[in-house]
Every structure is written in C-alpha cells, then in structure tokens.
Amino acid sequence: MSETDSNVGIEIEAGIATITVDRPKKLNALDNDTLEELGEAFQDAIFDDEVGVVILTGAGEKAFVAGADIEMLSRQGVLDGKQNSLLGQDLMDLIEDCPKPVIAAVNGFALGGGCELALACDFRYASENAVFGLPEVGLGILPGYGGTQRLPRLVGTGRAMEMILTGARIDAGEALRIGLVNRVLPLGELLPACRETAGAILSKGPLAVQMAKEAVRRGSLLSLKEGLALEADLFGLCSATEDMREGMKAFLEKRKPEFKGA
C-alpha cells in the first residue's frame, strides 16, 4: 500500500503519539487493511522510547470510527467471519496490552467496532457530538471486536445488555452518566484536554505508570487474592528502580523528580 493510500496517521510530539484513523469518506470504518495499519502504528508506539502515552482518534469532525467496514463484512461466510472477528480482537488486545497508557479521543460516531476500539483504550474522553452504540444485531451479527466482553465489564451487565440487545445509540451525556467516558468536551477542546491529561501522566515515573497499568489490566482477569499478589510483586519490582529512589528523594528534598525510566 502506498503512503497516500494510508488509512492511519501517527504523529509524535512531546512524548505523545497521536494515532488517527483516517478514512473519512467511510467515516473511518475499519476494513482489514486499516486494522493492520493500526496494529503497525501501535507496534511503532510501543517500541519507540520517545513515546510515553498514546492518544487514539478519528480524522474529521463527524466520526471516531463508524464500525467495522460493513461492505467487507457483507461478503463473509462462517469461517472468514470468525477470522474477521479474531483479527479485530487481536488489535483490541494489542491496544489493551500496550504498556503505555492509551487515551481514546472520541470525536463523533463510535459505533460497533468503533465503540469496541474505544473500549480497548484505558479511558475515554468524548466530544459533545460523540455517539456510542453497538448496532450489530440490526445487521444480523453480534459485536465481534470484544464489545460483548468489555462493555459489561466497564458499565455493568444490565446497561451493556440493553445497548447490545437493542442496538440503541447513546449520546455523550449518557455515555458520561454510565461511565463509558470520563469527560465530555466541546469538539475543539477534546484533543487539547487529552494532551493535558497525557502530559500529567508523562510527568510521573514511566516504569511506575507502566506497572500500575499492568496491575489493573492483568488484575481484572484474576481473583482478588491473585490480583493482590500481582500488585505486591509489581510493587516490589518498582522498589528496584532508580525512579523510585529519585521520586522519594525529590519529595523529601521538596523538588520535582527527574525520572529516567530506569
């Protein structure tokens, strides 16, 4: 694929990688090429030492991502249908497991696979025009990029069931009320707010941030006892870092810490 055909952009500035799904004519719908490009962009961000936080957004002012590409899905049979689901799930897992925090800047429609993409991020800020929904049952399918699993874990089974079984859309205000997003902002303030939060994260100890994310992510799959054991192990590991010494020394010396990620 030539660079001009690219459906995903990545810009890196001041420690923040902004990854943009850029297929505005199709409201940034995810075909398999776009999934692959997104995977590559996340791999780049994961292995780039300059990047501490990732912001994921959509191009234009109308859509974050309007879902998986329905034209592509309309051709699928049972076997490639399963593969399409697994391919999308792999990307969502990669985002969820990204050692660096990932903030979704939801700037419009986040439907089906677009809502699922936002759900794979660590937390979500939305513009006032954002619309969320899992409309798949209206297409004769179910959510296939993780929505049946991640939405109930985030907002509770009852609310998730209502959204999944009716396919109804909700606006940004309702998404805020049910805890699907953390903040709602005017469209022009969405990316600046995400960058401000990213900056706050970047000022902290990068290894501590990484381990805190891992504790929450891996812990959510474990029993409380196992999760607490994981937390204690990571806490112990943090204690071996120069960053911990620097963070505590700086506090005691009443100055700002200078973390090195070591």
Amino acid identity of 245?
R
Residue 88 touches ligand CAA, criterion: CB under 6 A: yes
Which residues lie closer than 8 Å to 123 by C-beta, 6 or more apart? 103, 104, 181, 182
Site for ligand CAA in 188-207 (CB under 6 A): none
Among 15, 58, 101, 135, binds ligand CAA (CB under 6 A): 135
- Only segment of 43-51, 67-75, 229-237, 253-261 that touches ligand CAA (CB under 6 A): 67-75
Orientation angle between helical segments 78-97 and 32-47, nearest 10 degrees: 20
In which region does residue 8 sit, left (phi positive, over 0), alpha (psi from -120 to 50) or beta (all else)? beta
Among 32, 36, 48, 70, binds ligand CAA (CB under 6 A): 70
Residue 50 touches ligand CAA, criterion: CB under 6 A: no
Which residues lie closer than 8 Å to 109 by C-beta, 6 or more apart? 27, 62, 63, 64, 65, 66, 130, 131
- End-to-end alpha-carbon separation of the chain, Å? 38
Amino acid identity of 252?
L
CB nearer to ligand CAA: pick between 139 and 178: 139
Among 42, 125, 145, 259, binds ligand CAA (CB under 6 A): 145
Is residue 242 part of the annotated active site? The answer reads: no
Residue 58 touches ligand CAA, criterion: CB under 6 A: no
Residue 149 touches ligand CAA, criterion: CB under 6 A: no
Residue 143 touches ligand CAA, criterion: CB under 6 A: yes
Question: How far is it, in rounded angstroms, from Cα 49 to Cα 34?
Answer: 24
Residue 29 touches ligand CAA, criterion: CB under 6 A: yes
Orientation angle between helical segments 78-97 and 113-120, nearest 10 degrees: 30
* Least distance CB 69 / ligand CAA (angstroms): 4
Is residue 3 part of the annotated active site? The answer reads: no
* Least distance CB 87 / ligand CAA (angstroms): 9
Among 52, 101, 112, 205, binds ligand CAA (CB under 6 A): 112
Catalytic option among 136, 174, 226, 231: 136
CB distance 148 to 141 below 8 Å: no
Name the nearest CA neighbour of 53 among 247, 176, 204: 204
Residue 257 touches ligand CAA, criterion: CB under 6 A: no
CA distances from 82 to 73, 87, 92, 124 (A): 11, 9, 15, 28
Residue 113 touches ligand CAA, criterion: CB under 6 A: yes
At 223, which helix (H) or strand (E)?
none
Residue 168 touches ligand CAA, criterion: CB under 6 A: no
* Least distance CB 208 / ligand CAA (angstroms): 35
Chain positions contacting ligand CAA, by CB under 6 A? 26-27, 29, 66-71, 88, 109, 111-113, 116, 135-136, 139, 141, 143-145, 147
